[in-house]
Structure 1
Amino acid sequence: MKTFTLMAGGTGGHLFPAQALGQELKRRGHAISLMTDRRTSRYLDVFPANRTYVIPSATPRLRNPIKAIEAGFTILRGMATARSTLKKLQPDAVIGFGGYPTFPPFLMASLMGIPGLLHEQNAVMGAANRALARFADGLALSFDDTRHADKFAIARTVTGNPVRDAVLAVADQPLPPIGEGMKLRLLVFGGSQGARFFSEVMPGAIEALPESIRSRLILTQQCREEDLERVTRAYAAAKVNVELATFFDDLPQRIAGSHLVIGRAGAGTIAELGVLGRPAILVPLPGSLDQDQSANAKVMEAAGGALVWRQDTISPQSLATELERLLPDSDRLTTMAARAATIGRADAVGALADFAEAIAEGAAAPSTPRSTEEGERS
């Protein structure tokens, strides 16, 4: 039996693959602990850790000297907290899943000589993983082509992005049938923290649909708390069969039961759509420095499993026009579902667990990276 400490930022995009790996490592008889931040409260009751530790962390804000100094002191405090915890846990290896809460404990583990593996969920390596990669013994990737990954001369492999047991449990469920007069199931969500944009654009789009489609629609949508009342009123006026919530604990089952998904293009969303084989309209989060969601979405678009729209090009009417074409088209939805499934990696969690065990044993073989200069051009 080995002891592993998982490290992840406190959002679903980082925690869900960590949860999936924890579930698999526990099945293999290993002991699991988690280091994260204070945002994890809604996930901890299902996270497979023997113990969870909240480590002080901060996002460096270099453009603001005062904030940068404050962040530096917080990171040092996090490293001190992590050191005492790691001395107590004595893990055989640590696995980081990105986000700045990973930085203090992963760096301290490296300074203490504990082997470390990083997992990158996105098609563009995140800033925290890029900062930590020089201290890691291995790098696991979700996509064959991951920007910045070639810069680091460490053991590297493409495992895919692990999905939770709840996703694998419904992975063989076929796309619900579509026929004349049958219900059309549409799921809208914006990631683990919701998306105001969908609350603004979806009610108008649904209202603009012809009655022949609107009367068949079963809509499930995630909303922010502050938007719930307004969106509820809008759908009531449109006379739509709708369920609204700020968070769905059973999201994998809801994805599997849908004909079409509308959402952001976070790495977890792409991984689950692929494993479950569901068609989507993806709207990457605009404004992110690395444009990681755009890169993720292009993978699904290239496979033929999704339409990718820029947020600033969407209006309620344009979305209604697309939904009117797409929702009743059984052949097109079925084809998109099959193509989405071609990028699914149901075996990702096993591959990542194998890599983690190899790192803990000191048996990970180094990859042959391209030169740094070539990596800079990728």
Structure 2
Amino acid sequence: MTATRHFLLAAGGTGGHMLPAYALAGELIARGHRVALVSDDRGLKIPGAPDEVETHVLPAGRVAGGPVGWVKAALAIRKGRRQAIELIRAFDPAVVVGFGGYPSLPSLLAARATRTPSLVHEQNAVLGRTNRLMAPRVDAIAVAYRNIYRFPEKCELKRHLTGNPVREEIVAIREEGFPPLPEDGIFRLLVVGGSLGATVLSEVVPAAVAMLPRALLDRLQVVQQARETDLDAVRAKYAELGVAAECAPYIADFPDRLRWAHLVIARAGASTVAELACAGRPAIFVPYPHAMDDHQRFNVADLVEAGGAQSFAQADFTPANVAKQLQRMALEPGAIEAAADNAARCGLPNATRDLADLVESFAPPPLMDVIRVGASTKRAAASGVAAARREAR
């Protein structure tokens, strides 16, 4: 009898949670395993899931809104846990993996109730609320950064550095190396602000570009993501400056644009930071100041310390400061190449493989699966015989 390995992944409804889950699902499927994915309606609408993955939506209330909201959330989580237990019994996963966010909580609670091995993966440099709650209750905690904040000391032995899984297209950029930048060559700037863009980037970056010397403006090419409401103003500013610029509300071909770029200006979401480090692209970060636990500020700490990036608090992200950094990176000999090397040293291109290895290591041996499947078959057969006897009476 051949044992089929099943894995259940559970993730919150944002790209930061879902994309690493998709990457792990793809790797496990490529290894011959079967994968089911649990999230909410919002999460399962995010593109990128492998075609072979099974998807499920379970209730998982968000703990907010005062006492009434807390009660509603508790009831939703309880209902989701009950349904997750049913899913685990039907799907029979070897391991349950949570990627943070409230939609991952019911599945992790159900794993504990059914004594199924479980682990969590934290994408940010600050351990998130759900992962903090479940840290003492899971078998392992995979982290994306060497320095993790709000990590419980008593769980230190469970910590495993894997990094954030990134797309194969991004790993390929790393292997190609940094694009040459001759002294009089075209300087290529990529500006991204998360899934929807960021108004602060639309306001500050064109104003910073306007402060650059004419000789650099003539060498500059820009690709900028901007909100729909900001697009016309951003395009008009670059046109006024005579700068070759392409602006859009969403950059569908991000890996190609990242391959093209010499420098990136961006928010500091976990996926963005991981992809830039893996690709070896220097960056100017402006962390989103209202992120939970201010995690975006901590996400860039390793890169900044290594010399692969600069980071500005939003209050300090001014045209003058950005223009100064742009001139230094474009005009100081060797500056941008050194920053690219430093960024690449922080990248963890084998994150998907290493996370899959960790997950597999907590799966029971295949022989145990055979025994369990055989026992389940016997129980089912016995149940069928008993039912037949009852009908005969």
Same fold (TM > 0.5): yes
**Contact 1:18 1:97 (C-alpha < 8 Å) held by counterparts:** yes
Q: 1:180 to 1:157 in 2, by over 3 A?
A: closer
Q: SS of 1:171's equivalent?
A: helix
1:29 aligned onto 2:26: no
Partners of 1:229 and 1:290 lie apart in 2 by: 34
Q: How do 1:262-281 residues align onto structure 2 when only pairs under 5 Å count?
A: 262-281=265-284
Identity %: 39
1:173 aligned onto 2:176: yes
Q: SS of 1:152's equivalent?
A: helix
Partners of 1:45 and 1:350 lie apart in 2 by: 18
TM-score by length of 1: 0.88
1:161 aligned onto 2:164: yes
**Contact 1:185 1:258 (C-alpha < 8 Å) held by counterparts:** yes
Q: Report the residue type matching 2:142 in the other structure.
A: A
Q: 1:37 to 1:211 in 2, by over 3 A?
A: farther
- CA deviation vs aligned residue, 1:350-372 (integer Å, no higher than 9, x gap): 21111100111279xxxxxxxxx
Matched with 2:140 is 138
The offset of 1:69, in angstroms, is 2.4
Q: How do 1:307-318 residues align onto structure 2 when only pairs under 5 Å count?
A: 307-318=310-321
Of 124, 127, 134, the residue aligned with 1:125 is 127
Matched with 2:9 is 6
The offset of 1:337, in angstroms, is 0.5
Partners of 1:231 and 1:79 lie apart in 2 by: 47
TM-score by length of 2: 0.85
Of 209, 214, 224, the residue aligned with 2:212 is 209
Matched with 1:85 is 87
Matched with 1:371 is none
- CA deviation vs aligned residue, 1:185-206 (integer Å, no higher than 9, x gap): 1111122343222122122222
Q: Which has the higher contact order (CA 8 A, sep 6+)?
A: 1
Q: 1:27 to 1:147 in 2, by over 3 A?
A: same
Partners of 1:132 and 1:48 lie apart in 2 by: 29
**Contact 1:35 1:52 (C-alpha < 8 Å) held by counterparts:** yes
The offset of 1:28, in angstroms, is 0.9
1:256 aligned onto 2:259: yes
Q: Report the residue type matching 2:235 in the other structure.
A: T
Which structure: larger Rg?
A: 2
**Contact 1:187 1:258 (C-alpha < 8 Å) held by counterparts:** yes
Matched with 2:110 is 108
Of 16, 19, 31, the residue aligned with 1:16 is 19
Matched with 1:334 is 337
Q: Report the residue type matching 2:136 in the other structure.
A: R
**Contact 1:265 1:284 (C-alpha < 8 Å) held by counterparts:** yes
**Contact 1:11 1:40 (C-alpha < 8 Å) held by counterparts:** yes
Instruction: Spell out structure 1 runs of 4+ moving beyond 4 A.
Output: none
Which has the larger helix fraction?
2
The offset of 1:42, in angstroms, is 5.3
Number of residue-to-residue matches in the alignment: 362
* Aligned CA-pair RMSD: 2.2
**Contact 2:85 2:110 (C-alpha < 8 Å) held by counterparts:** yes
1:38 aligned onto 2:29: no
**Contact 1:137 1:155 (C-alpha < 8 Å) held by counterparts:** yes
Q: Report the residue type matching 1:211 in the other structure.
A: R
Q: Report the residue type matching 2:108 in the other structure.
A: F
Q: Report the residue type matching 1:176 in the other structure.
A: P
Gaps of 5+ in 2: 367-393
Matched with 1:57 is 60
Gaps of 5+ in 1: 364-378
Of 229, 234, 238, the residue aligned with 1:231 is 234
Matched with 1:368 is none
Partners of 2:117 and 2:135 lie apart in 1 by: 12
Q: SS of 1:291's equivalent?
A: helix
